[in-house]
Amino acid sequence: IQQAKNRFPSFTTNQTSLPLDMTLLLMKTVVRNGGEQELNEVIKIYETTSDADLKIQALKSIGFTSQPHQIQRALEYSLTNVRTQDFYVLISSCASMPHGLE
């Protein structure tokens, strides 16, 4: 967890600093074990990247929070900011968390 938190700041400024297969693990780890700042950074990655695979990974990570109010925020975000064809990615991510089904 600590290693992911250490690597995350450099990843947010240079998203090619890690292989694509490691970015999902990194983003999920920091969202699950972080707070609002980490969630905001992953949302920013989703909104600014042109890489379709990284966008999907960011959506999967946004719903992977351990905080119920952030799950609610992610669901609200999905209604207005996520393309229709990608909507299911964020919803299923939220539903995969125990408190995401409440």
pTM: 0.89
At 36, list the tokens.
């609002």
pLDDT above 70 for 99: no
Q: Nearest-CA neighbor of 92 among 101, 83, 81?
A: 101
Q: Please write the tens of the pLDDT for every residue from 64-96.
A: 988 888 988 998 899 999 998 998 898 888 888
**What's the pLDDT at 100?**
63
Residue 102 pLDDT? 62
Torsion (CA) 40, 44, 46, 47 in degrees, nearest 10:
130
pLDDT digits (tens, 9 = 90+) for 12-50: 998 888 888 899 999 999 999 988 999 999 999 999 999
